[in-house]
Amino acid sequence: MNNITKIFLVLNSGSSSEKFSLYEGEDEVCSLYFEGIEEGGKKHFICTVSRADGSEEKLDKTWDDLSTAFVDAKGIFEKEGFINEAHPLDGILVRTPAAGKYFSKHNIVDEQTFVELEKVKVTYPLHVPGVLRGIKNAQAAFPGIPVLTMSDSEALTRDSRKDAKYALPKEIVEKYDLGRWGAHGSSYGFIRGRVKELGLEAPKMVVCHLGSGCSVTGFENGEPAYTSMGETPLEGLMSSTRTGSIDPTVGALLGSEMGAADAIKLLNKESGLKALAGSDDMREIIAGAEEGVPEAVEAYNMFVDGVAGKIGEFAAKMGGIDAIVFTATIGERSIPIRGSVISKLEFMGFKIDNDIKVDRSAGYTNIAAEGSKPIYVIATNEANYMIKKAGELLDSLK
């Protein structure tokens, strides 16, 4: 069967939500988003059904935990006519943010997968429970259908990387399987392929993935050389709720006082923009900064400095930059952020033309002013990359 005819269910599991996206080839035909809400002291779930034709429907669920979501999702997809005996699923893809050699590649779930997930529970206590829940519920609801863990670092795990190691004793690195694996790999993998398709490849390019989570990756001759995230997505840039890089002593102190799991939760979920400005929504922070709210101004400036500083760091390491790409929600949509970041990089030959409107239908937009090096806005599509890789993995087993 050709990749474009495969039917994949892409799962994204959160601590209090579950999203199911059904794809036929590279086209999303329907998505279901189960989100827990509390009313009158009682918790229940709302399922938002979104179809390819643009129609949307909200279904109120009486159950109070996510264990029922998978069976319910299967029933909805079957009722809608998207999956049946004539059109069965080819695979279920579980996005898996986790560190280590095993999770630096995509895998078809087997017993080893569960062993490896238990190993990374210490560093990923917020993500692993959702992944485990998703895998087990997928296997129960769709027996016999392959379940695949889709690596969040596979596209960055290359011999071209010059920053993949920590300066730690070799025996410690090997014992705990440590490395600067990076994250947002599906986004970078998609953008890397898209840049080649569009003929935009430059010898030295920096891609800025700026969304609720933020990272920057430097590419040399189309291959990843440097990336900002490390063993976990906590390293690197400050983002919506993450501190970004912080003195390890602070982390050790918080872990000692609060316990490792609570400290990791604080650093990942209660910090960053949320801690500085009281909001994790960049739109609210920009509005507050424009009104002169001190906390919003500080958060905005720290964010911009972080992104521009990381680009500058990679420019120094690569001996210059020929092009910059902005992607993900903030990168694609926020004119103020793009403008503020680039204003700090004019000494490197970059300048934005604020009159250029981003054309989403064109595949990319060069927002650079005349005489500037290219500055591209390219929409990412992480599911597209995962589906392509899942198809390749399943085809390789035939």
Task: Please give the structure tokens belonging to residue 216.
Answer: 């920057």
Give CA torsion, residues 234, 239, 242, 247, to 10 deg: 60
Q: Which of 72, 90, 152, 177 is catalytic?
A: 152
Q: Could you tell me the end-to-end alpha-carbon distance of the chain, in angstroms, rounded to an integer?
A: 10
Q: Output the CA torsion sign for 255, 257, 258, 263.
A: negative
Within 10 angstroms of residue 346's Cβ, the number of other Cβ atoms is 12
Task: Please give the structure tokens belonging to residue 73.
Answer: 């999702």
Give CA torsion, residues 186, 188, 192, 194, to 10 deg: 70
Give CA torsion, residues 33, 38, 42, 45, to 10 deg: -10
Task: Please give the structure tokens belonging to residue 268.
Answer: 């990942």
Q: For 307-329, give one letter per residue: b (16+ CB within 10 A) or e.
A: bbebbbebbeebeebebbbbbbe
Report the alpha-carbon distance of residue 28 to residue 77 in Å, rounded: 13
Q: Write down how long the chain is.
A: 398
Extended strands (E) in 196-321:
204-210, 214-220, 223-227
Q: Is 152 a catalytic site residue?
A: yes
Find how far residue 166's CA is from the centre of its chain: 23
Q: Is the Cβ–Cβ distance between 241 and 274 less than 8 Å?
A: yes
Bridge partners (DSSP) listed for residue 324: 206, 375
Q: Where are the alpha helices (DSSP H) in 23-68?
A: none
β-pairing, 42-51 vs 56-61, is: antiparallel
Among 220, 227, 187, 185, smallest CA distance to 201 is for: 220
Among 234, 346, 336, 351, smallest CA distance to 289 is for: 336
What distances in angstroms separate CA 186 from CA 21, 150, 164, 209, one per listed residue?
A: 16, 9, 18, 11
**Residues annotated catalytic, as ranges:** 152
